[in-house]
Structure 1
């Protein structure tokens, strides 16, 4: 059966709630546009998936004091975790052994990069120095929610949130915790935008995953979290289950710092491991929510890995990063939410901006909303350093 998912919360470029995100996906409405919240002369030239709320609007929504030292990463994370707990009808945290596993790569650098040159002379901004560390956003969220049993941070680049979900499931299965809030949060920053530009994998146009003429990714920001609960809690509380996490796998390419191998070995092994845990054969997967970054390297490597696993019978697949941009550490959780929504709606969400099939593989993603019977959805998340993770979600 797997581990039960009883709550979800999300804030992304396509909406501030589960309902907003669901509506945008069903309407094929992308949130990728020009940069607004970061001051740069290049804003008109950069396409990003940006959350529309400003930091001050998030502060108001969360009822925080104006002089807080939350970074944008922390604000987005707190917004989505609170929504997930509310969605799961959890009012008393201490009733069960509850943990939080939050993923981030950007951490607090959106603030430290802003005030770096002022830290030595301006006492008012020194409060942000301690929030640079990736683990601080997790601890601040845990403190705000009253989670004291267990809190940890995972930072494995773009597979971070998938690994957070995986670790949460393992802790429940091992009997260490009864329920875990799992997911990830990352804000846009100049550092990451410039960094990906330096790697020459960032597109100035709208990203086109799996397209023969793809030029690179669009960065995004988001926070998304799931509430995982044990069977015992679900039965005792008579909880509604949205879906089950039935399988997961992690492997490493051990190939290159930023590139995936040409034969997609890490992705292939991660998918195989997840299928084995879920006790499913490839033919039982109804939809693949692909990592699909729209970079030349990733989409080719992932396509080869998919063909190695599924052979001639590749199921419907798409990359939803054309809706949100690539949200880095949050991506695995954003796409976990979208996978559960796909199961709930019995719908495959489209791969926007696709025009031309890659001649090397001949694979064509789904390009419009497709209604079909879905029982099992496989979701891929692959990170720099070769860290590859696959999750399988099954209908409740």
Structure 2
């Protein structure tokens, strides 16, 4: 007879790790948000023609510095994507005080996410693929899941593993999938998150779409003219309610929703069909009402289409719109990492009762009687946060993170 799987209750966040243009760890990222200054500027480690004309949200550490920090100086095949992933992953598991035995347990799963993966080495990939090299150390590193395999190998992970690529909603979907694995009793602990490094592959692609701004991005401004690409890695340790015990708990993954409006390869429908469904489902699965959302961490890329559609969806769903902002004005759009990055920023808002201002707002969007938070707010009771991540192809994911009393 098949053993009946035990269904778990709540899913808690017990560890977090992050590296972005704002800082090299959790403390540095929180300090960056408090400073009210963007981490967006001139890229010095990323080699591209566009570094002379466009701003980027670049991590301040070089690849050599990352290798030194991580003790990987003599380990071959680590792309910048993999190095960033290891940095954030290691901080998260250490923060959760996980032992090597717990990480290697079959009850511990890993769900990571990326859009560009190892193709951050765009030129080297071209050389290897076209037999213009003798075969570099990166031959096995170009796939979307290569960084996940590096984590599996380095930390001896034996449980279920997966890599998600749903464009800009990738790591939000990793969080959702991790929570569902725990709730269904298929895992007791899941390490979730995502990573993306700056790459010619993505920069040239986004430039072809003509949605990169020559200035620091200004989401939800009437005169917004595009996004800034950034790089980051962020991971969260999710654990089942019966596993947590007296551990420190940052927040609950209270709800989640995913939809696809199937409208266009790189734009969402003007009616915000997918966005509304994902937000509704996230709030419904959290078992709360729309009015109980205290703050929205918006997807807010700074492109004309995205911000208009997102505000359309928010205004249709909420009778009274709660405070909202876009933290991409600090980090740039970190693509597959953005959902996990913004989940951690949402946890900061819950943990410290803070809401950070959207940067560079000069003129409110004329079509809407709505404006983002533009001044730092503290002492604000934040019980439930709605965090939105909307990807290419209309893949929309919303998460509800809740305060734990």
TM-score normalised to structure 2 length? 0.94
- 2:289 equivalent to 1:278: no
Task: Output the CA distance in 1 between the equivalents of 2:175 and 2:75.
Answer: 32
Per-residue displacement from partner, 1:51-94 (whole Å, max 9, x unpaired)?
Answer: 01111111111111435101111110111000000010112323
| Structure 2 stretches lacking a partner, 5+ long | 1-8
Alignment partner, residue 324 of structure 2 = 317
Alignment partner, residue 160 of structure 2 = 150
Q: Which residue among 40, 49, 55 is the counterpart of 2:48?
A: 40
Alignment partner, residue 11 of structure 2 = 3
Task: Output the CA distance in 2 between the equivalents of 1:309 and 1:226.
Answer: 29
How far residue 393 of structure 1 moved from its aligned partner, in angstroms, is: 0.5
Q: Is the 8 A contact 1:245 1:392 kept in 2?
A: yes
- 2:351 equivalent to 1:305: no
Task: Output the CA distance in 1 between the equivalents of 2:331 and 2:374.
Answer: 16
Alignment partner, residue 151 of structure 2 = 141
Alignment partner, residue 166 of structure 1 = 176
How far residue 118 of structure 1 moved from its aligned partner, in angstroms, is: 5.4
Q: Is the 8 A contact 1:8 1:85 kept in 2?
A: yes
- 2:182 equivalent to 1:175: no
Task: Output the CA distance in 2 between the equivalents of 1:2 and 1:44.
Answer: 48
Per-residue displacement from partner, 1:166-187 (whole Å, max 9, x unpaired)?
Answer: 0000000111111010000000
Per-residue displacement from partner, 1:308-365 (whole Å, max 9, x unpaired)?
Answer: 1103x10000000000000000000000000001101101111001111111112100
Task: Output the CA distance in 2 between the equivalents of 1:240 and 1:67.
Answer: 34
- 2:218 equivalent to 1:218: no
Alignment partner, residue 294 of structure 1 = 302
Q: Is the 8 A contact 2:116 2:144 kept in 1?
A: yes
Partner SS, residue 250 of structure 1: strand
Q: Which residue among 337, 340, 344 is the counterpart of 2:344?
A: 337
Alignment partner, residue 359 of structure 1 = 366
Deviates more, 1:164-173 or 1:36-45: 36-45
Alignment partner, residue 261 of structure 2 = 253
Partner SS, residue 266 of structure 2: coil
1:263-274 correspondence runs (5 A)? 263-274=271-282
Q: Which residue among 376, 382, 387 is the counterpart of 2:395?
A: 387
Q: Which residue among 201, 206, 218 is the counterpart of 1:208?
A: 218
Alignment partner, residue 110 of structure 1 = 120
Partner SS, residue 84 of structure 2: helix
Q: Is the 8 A contact 2:104 2:155 kept in 1?
A: no
Q: Is the 8 A contact 1:48 1:219 kept in 2?
A: yes
Segments ≥4 residues shifted beyond 4 Å = none
RMSD: 1.3
Per-residue displacement from partner, 1:29-49 (whole Å, max 9, x unpaired)?
Answer: 210001211223332211110
Alignment partner, residue 239 of structure 2 = 229
Alignment partner, residue 122 of structure 1 = 133
Alignment partner, residue 38 of structure 2 = 30
Task: Output the CA distance in 2 between the equivalents of 1:179 and 1:231.
Answer: 10
How far residue 121 of structure 1 moved from its aligned partner, in angstroms, is: 4.6
- Rate the CA distance shift 1:273–1:60 in 2: closer, same or farther, 3 A: same
Partner SS, residue 396 of structure 2: strand
TM-score normalised to structure 1 length? 0.96
Task: Output the CA distance in 2 between the equivalents of 1:264 and 1:109.
Answer: 32
Alignment partner, residue 6 of structure 2 = none
- 2:108 equivalent to 1:98: yes
Alignment partner, residue 5 of structure 2 = none
Q: Is the 8 A contact 1:181 1:226 kept in 2?
A: yes
